[in-house]
């Protein structure tokens, strides 16, 4: 319920026998109905019991459902570099005393334009010496491994809160970066400008998956919210949590700083859903009730 329109798709039921009464028909609704690449969308399967087994996929990528709102829901992250177009989805429902149901449909991913950002940084932070390059590669591999780990329970509830209370909106998600004249990968998070020492809080419940001091991200905290959802807090001055610790929404995880590759004090806040880099603003805009 991100405010955008949604469409209810009646299940195209593949029933082995018989025909169901209307009340038995599950429904599948996407929020928003037409997401853009870089969005985190979600799907609501209604008219199924909480004890039902619901599974499915979009574009061949699995959805992980959890009981929600009189049915089941799943988040779907559309990577910043995903191709716009029609993505085929499938949802299967297995429930006691009902025939298994399978629904199929298409999710239209809209194109989104991102800005181009030109930065000038000290040569030493851009043209890495072999040792720094090896370190940065190892660190990004470690991060990718963390993001691939799917904790099988949902650790978040309800709405997501801003990671920095006083700051304005995060900026720069998806910006195509040109650093010292060389095109780089797009900016995978939102930057919040705030003075050094400003508290940074967990945007929702989770577990601390990683704490570190890395070459590009500087001092960092990675939170695992379960079912493949991670949030990232980079360039911290101080860190207030330890690995494996459970955190609540709004709990301080550290303070704003300028560690790693940062031109000044700010929080780089990122969100990943099953390794898809998504706009944190769309995560903060989700309006789950519990």
Strands (E), 126-265: 176-179, 182-183, 189-193, 199-201, 206-214, 218-226, 229-239, 246-247, 252-256
CA atoms within 13 A on the CB side of 220: 25
State which of residues 162, 261, 268, 277 lies at the interface with Zn ion (CB under 5 A).
Answer: 268
Q: Residue 189 or residue 199: which is nearer to Zn ion going by CB?
A: 189
Question: Among the candidate windows 6-14, 72-80, 105-113, 182-190, which touches Zn ion by CB under 5 A?
Answer: 182-190
Residue closest to Zn ion, measured at CB: 268
Say how far apart CA 27 and CA 9 lie, in whole Å: 6
Listing from the earlier edge strand, what are the strands of the sheet with 61-63? Answer: 61-63, 53-58, 85-94, 101-109
Q: Residue 191 or residue 224: which is nearer to Zn ion going by CB?
A: 191
Q: Residue 29 or residue 140: which is nearer to Zn ion going by CB?
A: 140
Dihedral angle over CA of 88, 89, 90, 93, nearest 10: -170
Question: Among the candidate windows 4-12, 110-118, 187-195, 277-285, which touches Zn ion by CB under 5 A?
Answer: 187-195
Question: Among the candidate windows 15-23, 154-162, 191-199, 271-279, which touches Zn ion by CB under 5 A?
Answer: 191-199
* CA end-to-end span of the chain: 13
Q: Using DSSP, state whether 148 is helix, strand or coil.
A: helix
Q: Residue 68 or residue 192: which is nearer to Zn ion going by CB?
A: 192
Question: Among the candidate windows 15-23, 53-61, 91-99, 185-193, which touches Zn ion by CB under 5 A?
Answer: 185-193
- Tokens linked to 63: 């959805």
Asked if 277 is part of the footprint of Zn ion (rule: CB under 5 A), the reply reads no
Taking residues 104 to 143 in sequence order and writing x for each that binds Zn ion by CB under 5 A, - otherwise, the string is ----------------------------------------
State which of residues 75, 82, 154, 191 lies at the interface with Zn ion (CB under 5 A).
Answer: 191
Q: Residue 64 or residue 231: which is nearer to Zn ion going by CB?
A: 231
Q: Residue 36 or residue 268: which is nearer to Zn ion going by CB?
A: 268
Total of chain residues touching Zn ion, rule CB under 5 A: 3
Q: Residue 30 or residue 233: which is nearer to Zn ion going by CB?
A: 233
Q: Residue 89 or residue 230: which is nearer to Zn ion going by CB?
A: 230
Instruction: Please answer whether residues 225 and 204 qualify as being in contact, where contact means their C-beta atoms are separated by less than 8 angstroms.
Output: yes
Instruction: Please answer whether residues 271 and 280 qualify as being in contact, where contact means their C-beta atoms are separated by less than 8 angstroms.
Output: yes
Question: Among the candidate windows 26-34, 132-140, 145-153, 184-192, which touches Zn ion by CB under 5 A?
Answer: 184-192
Binding to Zn ion (CB under 5 A) within 208-247 occurs at none
Say how far apart CA 178 and CA 165 lie, in whole Å: 30
Question: Among the candidate windows 55-63, 141-149, 262-270, 279-287, which touches Zn ion by CB under 5 A?
Answer: 262-270
Q: How far is the CB of 33 from Zn ion (least distance, A)?
A: 30
Interacting residues of 276 by C-beta distance below 8 A, sequence separation 6+: 40, 77, 78, 79, 80, 82
Cβ neighbour number for residue 159 with a 10 Å cutoff:
15
Cis peptide before 32 (omega within 30 of 0): yes
Interface residue list for Zn ion (CB under 5 A): 189, 191, 268
């Amino acid at each position: 319920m991100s405010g955008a329109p949604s469409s209810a798709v009646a299940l195209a039921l593949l029933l082995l026998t018989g025909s169901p009464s209307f009340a038995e028909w599950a429904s599948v609704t996407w929020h928003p109905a037409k997401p853009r690449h870089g969005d985190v969308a979600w799907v609501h399967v209604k008219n199924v019991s909480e004890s039902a087994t619901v599974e499915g996929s979009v574009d061949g990528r699995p959805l992980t459902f959890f009981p929600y709102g009189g049915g089941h829901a799943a988040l779907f992250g559309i990577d910043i570099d995903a191709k716009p177009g029609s993505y085929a989805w499938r949802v299967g429902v297995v429930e006691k005393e009902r025939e298994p149901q399978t629904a199929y449909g298409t999710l239209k991913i809209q194109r989104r334009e991102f800005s181009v950002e030109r930065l000038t940084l000290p040569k030493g932070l851009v043209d890495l010496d072999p040792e720094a390059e090896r370190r940065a590669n190892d660190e990004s591999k470690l991060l990718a491994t963390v993001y691939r780990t799917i904790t099988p329970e949902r650790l978040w509830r309800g709405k997501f809160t801003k990671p920095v209370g006083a700051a304005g909106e995060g900026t720069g998600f998806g910006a195509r970066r040109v650093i010292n004249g060389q095109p780089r990968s797009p900016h995978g998070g939102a930057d919040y400008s705030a003075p050094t020492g400003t508290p940074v809080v967990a945007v929702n419940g989770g577990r601390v998956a990683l704490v570190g001091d890395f070459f590009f991200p500087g001092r960092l905290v990675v939170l695992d919210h379960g079912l493949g959802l991670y949030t990232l807090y980079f360039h911290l001055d101080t860190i207030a949590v330890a690995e494996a610790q459970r955190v609540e929404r709004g709990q301080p995880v550290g303070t704003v700083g300028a560690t790693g590759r940062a031109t000044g004090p700010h929080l780089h806040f990122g969100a990943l859903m099953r390794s898809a880099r998504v706009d944190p603003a769309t995560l903060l805009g989700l309006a789950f009730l519990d």
